[in-house]
């Protein structure tokens, strides 16, 4: 079974082809970062228009990379939500139209399920059950995963997502959009312990997160201290340490609550090296294991959508001709079929 996956939920256009027997055959990605950089964030209308321009050429490029003809594709999967409604409609319209023209099934995929399953693309995929930390620019969630489609929300951010807080704090430090990854690089030059940031909502029970106050704390610290390269690096280090510690504390609580000993981290922030190292050390101390995708599969991509589409197709999913996208779509609403 070969599935063509299309991802257009926000500011990356991703197209990939996944073969059930041979694995990933093609992976094409176009990032709109330069397009939105001048605006300091994603402009939905510009994102939608760029998806219109890039999706079909990327599909052709993916077919060429895999050395396949359209009649050799067995299904088309596309992101149906959550995400920007205009961007979602581009991928959904193209994906559903191709499936109709090629007379193959279409599968509407949940964007966050794609992220959750991205580590399955690796040579050492996690087995069920596990706790999943979905951490990106739009989401910070802890999920109990017992099987495909069996997801229980354990906790989530009540305000800013972790990735959003990274980008906003990076902007306060004078870094260009998107600044999360640049902040992490700056933090590597920081002096540990010079600044101490709070670990929000870790002094009370529960698994919810809050990062907006941490961003405000960073803004106040920046304003009250000298404007020099080392001070900014020290603030970046303190901010990153606070976010990583907070995520780790909540992950540990989730593992203790569920009794699971496998942890999956997925989403754009899961590429953060400090977070990976911290969670790896924590899981080794517990006698467990942490799983994550390679960096290029942490951000939005077509490979995770193609894989999730294959899994859903095998479970009996088949999206009708009517187009439906869901800008807001809780992961817990998914079922096994």
| Beta-carbon count within 10 A of 96 CB | 23
Q: In terms of domains, do 171 and 255 share one?
A: yes
Q: In terms of domains, do 88 and 34 share one?
A: yes
Please report whether residue 35 resides in a domain: yes
CA dist., res. 207 & res. 74, Å (int): 41
Q: In terms of domains, do 151 and 259 share one?
A: yes
The pLDDT confidence band at residue 321, using thresholds 50, 70 and 90, is: confident
Q: In terms of domains, do 181 and 323 share one?
A: no
Segment 137-146 shows an average pLDDT of 95
27 neighbors 21 (Cβ within 8 angstroms): no
Q: In terms of domains, do 27 and 144 share one?
A: no
At 318 the pLDDT is 87
CA dist., res. 258 & res. 270, Å (int): 21
- φ/ψ of residue 230, rounded to 5: -70, -40
Q: Count of domains in the chain?
A: 2
pLDDT over 90 at 322, yes or no:
no
At 178 the pLDDT is 87
pLDDT over 80 at 337, yes or no:
no
At 221 the pLDDT is 98
Q: In terms of domains, do 97 and 179 share one?
A: no
pLDDT over 90 at 225, yes or no:
yes
At 212 the pLDDT is 94
pLDDT over 80 at 146, yes or no:
yes
Domain of residue 103: give its range: 2-117+297-333
pLDDT over 90 at 9, yes or no:
yes
At 335 the pLDDT is 87
Please tell me the chain's helix, strand, coil percentages from 3-state DSSP, rounded to the nearest 5: 45, 20, 35
pLDDT over 90 at 177, yes or no:
no
Segment 36-41 shows an average pLDDT of 90
Please report whether residue 122 resides in a domain: no
Please give the distance of CA 75 from its chain centroid, rounded to a whole number: 23
The pLDDT confidence band at residue 241, using thresholds 50, 70 and 90, is: very high
Segment 70-93 shows an average pLDDT of 98
Q: In terms of domains, do 85 and 163 share one?
A: no
At 148 the pLDDT is 94
User: The pTM is what?
Assistant: 0.96
pLDDT over 90 at 170, yes or no:
yes
CA dist., res. 16 & res. 95, Å (int): 12
Segment 107-111 shows an average pLDDT of 97
CA dist., res. 36 & res. 187, Å (int): 24
pLDDT over 90 at 319, yes or no:
no
Q: In terms of domains, do 67 and 135 share one?
A: no
Q: Give the CATH number, domain containing residue 110.
A: 3.30.420.40
From the annotation, which residues make up the binding site for Fe cation?
Answer: 111, 115, 300
From the annotation, which residues make up the binding site?
Answer: 111, 115, 134-138, 167, 180, 272, 300
The percentage of residues in the chain with a pLDDT greater than 70, rounded to a whole number, is 100
**Mean pLDDT of the chain, nearest integer:** 96
From the annotation, which residues make up the binding site for substrate?
Answer: 134-138, 167, 180, 272
pLDDT over 90 at 275, yes or no:
yes
Q: In terms of domains, do 110 and 12 share one?
A: yes
> What's the pLDDT tens digit per position in 288-308?
999 999 999 999 999 999 999
The pLDDT confidence band at residue 317, using thresholds 50, 70 and 90, is: confident
DSSP 218-258: HHHHHHHS--SHHHHHHHHHHHHHHHHHHHHHHHHHHHHHH
Give the up-direction half-sphere exposure of residue 135: CA atoms within 13 A in the CB hemisphere. 31
User: Can you say whether the dihedral through the CA atoms of 143, 146, 147, 149 is positive or negative?
Assistant: negative
Paired tokens of 269: 């922030």
Q: In terms of domains, do 133 and 278 share one?
A: yes
pLDDT over 90 at 33, yes or no:
yes
The pLDDT confidence band at residue 247, using thresholds 50, 70 and 90, is: very high
């Amino acid at each position: 079974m070969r599935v063509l996956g299309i991802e257009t939920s926000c500011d990356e256009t991703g197209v990939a082809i996944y073969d059930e027997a041979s694995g990933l055959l093609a992976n094409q990605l176009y990032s709109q970062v330069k397009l939105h950089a001048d605006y300091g964030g994603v402009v939905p209308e510009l994102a939608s228009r760029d998806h219109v321009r890039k999706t079909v050429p990327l599909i052709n490029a993916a077919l060429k990379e895999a050395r396949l003809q359209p009649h050799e594709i067995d299904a088309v999967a596309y992101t149906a939500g959550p995400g920007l409604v205009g961007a979602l409609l581009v991928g959904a319209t193209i994906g559903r139209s191709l499936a109709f023209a090629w007379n193959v099934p279409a599968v509407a995929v949940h964007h966050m399920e794609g992220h959750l399953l991205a580590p399955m693309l690796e040579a050492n995929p996690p087995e069920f059950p596990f706790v999943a930390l979905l951490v990106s620019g739009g989401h910070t969630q802890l999920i109990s995963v017992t099987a495909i489609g069996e997801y229980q929300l354990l906790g989530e951010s009540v305000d800013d997502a972790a990735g959003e807080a990274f980008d906003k704090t990076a902007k306060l430090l004078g870094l260009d959009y998107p600044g999360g990854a640049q902040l992490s690089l700056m933090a590597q030059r920081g002096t540990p312990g010079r600044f101490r940031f709070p670990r929000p909502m870790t002094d009370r029970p529960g698994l919810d997160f809050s990062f907006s106050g941490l961003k405000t704390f960073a803004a106040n610290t920046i304003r009250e201290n000298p404007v020099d390269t080392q001070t900014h690096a020290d603030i970046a280090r303190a901010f990153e340490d606070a976010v990583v510690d907070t995520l780790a504390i909540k992950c540990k609580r989730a593992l203790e609550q569920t009794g699971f000993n496998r942890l999956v981290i997925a989403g754009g922030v899961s590429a953060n090296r400090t977070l990976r190292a911290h969670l790896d050390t924590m899981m080794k101390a517990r006698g467990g294991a942490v799983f994550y995708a390679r960096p290029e599969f942490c951000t939005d991509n077509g490979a995770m959508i193609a894989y999730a589409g294959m899994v859903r197709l095998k479970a009996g999913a088949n999206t009708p001709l009517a187009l439906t996208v869901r800008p807001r779509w809780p992961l817990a609403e998914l079922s096994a079929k």
